[in-house]
Structure 1
Amino acid sequence: MKHLYTFLLLTVFTLTQAQQRHSVYFDLDIDKPNSSSVNEFDTWLQQNKNAVIIKVYGYTDSVGSVTYNKDLSLRRVNDIVNRLKQNNIAFAEDFEIKGFGEEFEQDNNNSENRRVEVYYELPVAEADIPKPEPKKTVFAQKVEKSKVGDKLRLENLNFYGGSAHFLPESIPVLEELLAIMKSHPNLKIEIQGHICCEKKVTHPVSSDRAKAVYSYLNNNGIAHSRISYKDYGATSPIYSIPERNEKERVTNRRVEIKIMAN
């Protein structure tokens, strides 16, 4: 998927940024565009107000001297440049003008030789760039694959010892759980609180920890009907009690969710 997105992005960028060209035609020995080209050019101006002009090249037929034709082609170029400026069309910093006169490969149809070529680019519109799908976290993927009755540990959702106050690293976990609940409107969970250090079936602290998560979700828009909480005390420790170190104690002071409906 990543490679496909990159390919699409590069394709859009390349196609949009590639130089495009608009041709303006002139009558014999005239440095103003003919009436049909004026109408077409005016339409182009209206449809390409955000164009950036890269270069404007002028050409003539082979009638007349080389010097005269070069001067004529430049006068044609200057006329078109002035029209662009009058319409507030932007120019690139390295914008270039050039009059070739008749010194190019002539077309058999002389009317095709009497022209000015406007080369331009159109900036990429942000809305036209395909947006990548948001990358799903490991936990979000586990939720999507879960079945009713499954229990999922909220990694790094931990508390200060003896309290229901979240450790700082818990905030992103809470925000992620909230986002998952909002993006899965049918998801219902039971929030299960656990403690460390004491072999007790229930405990006010584990109840308060589960309730703290419950309150966070409810205060941020998740309906009561989708969430509940329960105190499990020290009945399901990850590390045996008594724990050997603070890392094990922090891990046992945790909250898990049980999938009730999805």
Structure 2
Amino acid sequence: MIKFLLPVFLCMTVMSKAQTNSSFDVHFDTDKFTLTMDATTSLDSFVKANPKGIKMKLYGHCDVMAGYEYNDVLSLKRTHAVKNYLVKKGVSPEAITEEKGFGKRRPLNRNRGENEMYLNRRVEIVTGDDELMEKEPLVKTLTQELDDTKNTVGKNIVLKNMNFYGGTHVIVPQSLPVLLELLDYMKKNPALEIAVEGHICCQEGEGDGLDIGTHTRDLSVNRAREICTYLNQNGIASSRLRFKGFGHQQPLTPYPEKTEEERTGNRRVEIKILRK
């Protein structure tokens, strides 16, 4: 569990268009709904800081690990744990006017690494009398991108946070969440066929990069192939998968890239929808 200077983020932030609403977040360990010592300490402080009878709503959230159905249940278990503790500490059950579990549908960030995933494993306690304004996620998930009716056959979608160790086709562990999400979506949508397309950055001309693992100049090809291999080894038929490497033929920013954002944009992996 990641430790912060404060046991939880007491983010008494004003909600969009609801000036009297404030939110307070309680965080959880990976795949858990039991309250940690940090969480109970913070909930004790929350109870003391708020007047008795104040109305509140509980919204549960998860990181991107595991599928949607599993996370929907887990996020509700987290709200139940918080509610039970608050009631135990003297909060009236009638003061809790709403409980919802959003699973992994409303991330605060892109789930890049344990720190960001920790922030998403939370129950948001919203206090006040106004209705909570519906909020769009800050970043669309891959599932939302694939579900988007505008993304039809022929459309390309960037696999956000898909990264490899420098100069290799070896996927870094932090990219597992997006792979699991893609795998889960393809299992639930058996008609979907995709092409995985690799790109590189930081190279003059249109050629491909050197893969230091194979000593061949086909880095973007090997990276795209590696993703297809992962999907195939986990139950996705090879007939539903294609791969291609474009080297530095389709940079979003011309060489030389000047910022890390430009390098990341060029050093990307996309999936093209072939059949949906």
Smaller-chain TM-score bracket: 0.3 to 0.5
| TM-score, L = length of structure 1 | 0.47
Structure number having the greater helix percentage: 1
Answer with 1 or 2: which has the greater Rg: 1
| TM-score, L = length of structure 2 | 0.45
